[in-house]
Structures are given as C-alpha cells and as structure tokens.
Amino acid sequence: MHTVVVGTAGVTVSDVLAVARADARIELSQEAVAALTAAREIVDALAAKPEPVYGVSTGFGALATRHISEELRVQLQRNIVRSHAAGIGPRVEREVVRALMFLRLKTVCSGHTGVRPEVAQTMADVLNAGITPVVHEYGSLGCSGDLAPLSHCALTLLGEGEAEGPDGVVRPAAELLAEHGIAPVELHEKEGLALLNGTDGMLGMLIMALADLDKLYKSADVTAALSMEALLGTDKVLAPELQAIRPHPGQGASAANMLAVLKGSGLTGHHQDDAPRVQDAYSVRCAPQVAGAGRDTLAHARLVAERELASAVDNPVVLADGRVESNGNFHGAPVAYVLDFLAIAAADLASIAERRTDRLLDKNRSHGLPPFLADDPGVDSGLMIAQYTQAALVSEMKRLAVPASADSIPSSAMQEDHVSMGWSAARKLRTAVDNLTRVLAIELYAATRAVELREGLTPAPATRAAITALREAGAEGPGPDRFLAPDLAAADAFVRDGRLVASVEAVTGALQ
C-alpha cells in the first residue's frame, strides 16, 4: 500500500488524493516529530507564565478576555472541541472527512501549532485504521477555519461522538479506537484550538474537485468533437493558427484536443452540402473558447490550492523565533473565491453542452438527422426527455453558480464579523461537478447516436473507439424507444470513471 510521509514542508495534491480516495497509509517524518517537540516546548513555557496568551491560557473568540487558570486548561481544550462539534444535517462523504483530517495533520506537523507529537500520531493512527468521524453538512462559515467539521474530527480523537469504522458501520468512537488499540488523547494547552482552526475542509474539496474537473474538461472536448461530427460541422475553426492569435492556454489545449479526436473524420466539413451554412452555431464553433476559459480558471484554482497546501493555517501560530502570535490566516477567502469561480465555469460548460444536445435533436437545426434522433418519429420520442433531464441539471448548475463567497454573516458576538462561506462554496461545487458529469454523459449519448445515424459517412478513429466502448459499457445505440434511464446511467458511469477519455486516448495518445 502506498505510504504518504508527512513532514514540515506540507504535502502534495497527489498525497491528499491518495489518503482521501485510496486509503494511503500515513507516517510522520522524524523532521516533523522534531518540529512538533520544539514548538510544544515554546507553548509549555508560555503556559507557565502569568501573562495571558490567546489560545494557551485564555478563552476563545469573543471570550478571549478571560484568563484561564492552569487547573482548568485541560477542561478548556476539551470543552472547545465538544461545544464546537455542533454540526447538523446529512453526513459528509468519507473522502471529504479523510481529506479534512489529513490536511489538519499536515498543518499540525508544520511545527507552527504547538501540538504534541503524540496527538499528531493519534491523528495518523485514526486515519490508518480507516476510522472516519461523523461530520455533518452544516456548521462551517469558513472563517476561523472549518470549525464545526474539524471539531467533529477532534471529538473522535477524544474517544467521544460517533465514527464510521472500516466496515462502513457507524458506532461510538470509543469502541472503534479501543478495537484498533488507539488510546484517546487528553488535550493540553492550545491543542483543542489547533485541531479545529483551519481551511482544511474547503481545501480538501477544492483539491478533489480539481482532479475531477481535469478529467471532465477532457471529456467535454471529446463530446464537443462528437457533436461537431454529428452536425457535419467544420473543424477548420480548430486550426492552431487561429488559436495562436488569441493565445489563451486553455483555448489552445481544448482546440488541440478536439482536432486530435477528429483526425481522420469523414463527417466534418460537410456544412456546405445539402443545407449550406456559412458558419456553425456558437455552441459548436466556440467550444474551445468556452472550455478553454474554464481550463484557465482551473489553472488559477490549482495555483491557489498549491499555495494553501504550503501554508500553516492556525491561530495563534508558533513562529521560528519563539513568538506565539495571533493572525488572520484562517480566513477562507482565497479558497472560497476559486471554489465559486469553478462552479461558474462548470455551469457554463454544462450550458454549452446542453445547447449542442438540443441542436442534435431539433430536425430544423440538425442538418438531416431525424427529430429527437427517434427511430420512428411520432411513434417514438427518441431522446426528447433525455434533453429535458439535461436541461434540469443545467438549470440547477446555474443556481449553484451563485457565489457563496459574496455572502457573509457575522458570528461570535461580532468578533467574527466577516466570514468567507468557503465550506458552502465547496459543498455546492461538489454538486455542480456531479451534475456536469451527467450533462456531458447525456451529450455523449446523443452525439454517439447521431453519428451512428449518419449512414455512409465514417467517423474519426478516435470517436469510433469511444462509440464502441460506450456500447460495450451498456449504453445502446439507435433503435426503437426503450427504458432510457439505464442507458443514461451507463453513459454517466462511462464518463465518471474515465473510460471515455481512456477510450479516446488509446487512439490519440494523451490529451492535454
């Protein structure tokens, strides 16, 4: 099994994905243990002084003015975890919780939090045991970190609350820890605060969305190419020299992908035949421009994610010169913005894909295809309602594209008076990514049927490979009406697990 070693310099995107989605094991480096030990010595020295230090010997948030006596500090740290574990609503997905815990461990191991090595090791042990704390949908405002979600994770370290075992059954956390030989931790000064004060939930969801969207943007280039073939469009608009005079990198990559997929096609370039047109519709002709703009948005979001991965987000932080300073680095605005940007880009990509599907089904605009791609129009409805489903998904994605980060609501008696809503931005982006997958699956299903209905014309080798693989995956080709939902589900799975891109790349080589 793959092992991820956590040091003081942060982790990589691939590390996060390996832990969250592939259950990679975690080890703490000797460097991390040394840094944890050194930072803890600083915190212990400050805790012994009579002067109050925020997070060490004071209350939290609006209650930071109270100095906490030494005999109450263990109770203080335990209480902050218990009281902040106030989430409500449906459970959050396992992969999100694993990413959340792992990224908090990453920051803990930076040596800037003052957490003892044994607490960090317990975090790693819980993840390695496949124990997943129960975290709820609602509770984070994305400002002082993802407080409620991280508190539910910290509660498991205390042996309290509920968690899911490696068998998928939710049970008391104390039972699961005992079964795996993990002793619950007792939190000392600053440790409770350090376990719940970070942007880890929204960052984890950003990283996973980026991985999923990278695959979906390649998928969108494939489905756009198939639709161009099916509509007898011209691929001349994809020429590299045309992309070069508007040198957005994403646009060039999308156009190059479409050209590679369409290489050798016998369907493109027939727009001057029986139903002459000077130009293809925007949804066909401008596919690289729209998908390319989304790709460039992905590139910016990836840069933000990498910067956040290199960060130590906590308040207060232990600095190399021994100072412990309060700060505002926990604010989620940088991550929240790009989560919203990605939802906007995903909605637009879905919208242009739906417009191509609608064009394929409309006999007045499809250049010779039967109405709704039906076998016997009138008796058969063909893919009429598949487009309704696609339209419903796109409409929801437009609603999900409304920025969460443009909102703020004050909390903690106006101490936390401007929040990022980054967790909410991440949650709606996950839904948008799911919907985009389904939208592209429906375009794929319609476009492949339309290509097969172009008798006498031969599709490109790459699109032919995609059609063959899709049919083998259980999404049937043209014919009389049948129960359509299973075909759409098969197409959805075909796009979601990467088989669409893989089937094309077997012919074209790696797409950009």
10 Å Cβ neighbour count for 325?
11
Q: Are 260 and 511 in contact (CB under 8 A)?
A: yes
Read off the amino acid at residue 85: A
Read off the amino acid at residue 268: T
Q: Is 134 exposed, middle or buried (0-12, 13-18, 19+ CB in 10 A)?
A: buried
DSSP state of 61: G
Query: How many Å is the maximal CA-CA distance in the chain?
Result: 89
Q: Which of 54, 217, 337, 445 is catalytic?
A: 54
Angle between helix 499-508 and 485-496 (nearest 10): 60
- Rg of the chain in Å (alpha carbons): 26
* CA dist., res. 104 & res. 308, Å (int): 12
**E strands along 170-240, which residues?**
170-172
* CA dist., res. 259 & res. 229, Å (int): 11
Sign of the torsion angle spanned by Cα atoms 42, 43, 44, 45 = positive
Q: Are strands 3-6 and 25-28 parallel, antiparallel or unpaired?
A: parallel
- Is residue 445 part of the annotated active site? The answer reads no
Q: Are 336 and 146 in contact (CB under 8 A)?
A: no
Closest listed residue to residue 124, CA positions, set 23, 14, 233:
23
Q: Are 102 and 23 in contact (CB under 8 A)?
A: no
10 Å Cβ neighbour count for 82?
15
- DSSP reduced 3-state for 143: strand
Name the phi and psi angles at 109, rounded to 5.
-75, -5
DSSP codes of every residue in 13-27:
HHHHHHHHHH--EEE
**Lookup: tokens for 427:** 């949650």
* CA dist., res. 269 & res. 443, Å (int): 21
Question: What does each C-alpha distance from 304 to 15, 240, 298 come to in angstroms?
Answer: 17, 29, 10
Question: What are the catalytic residues?
Answer: 54
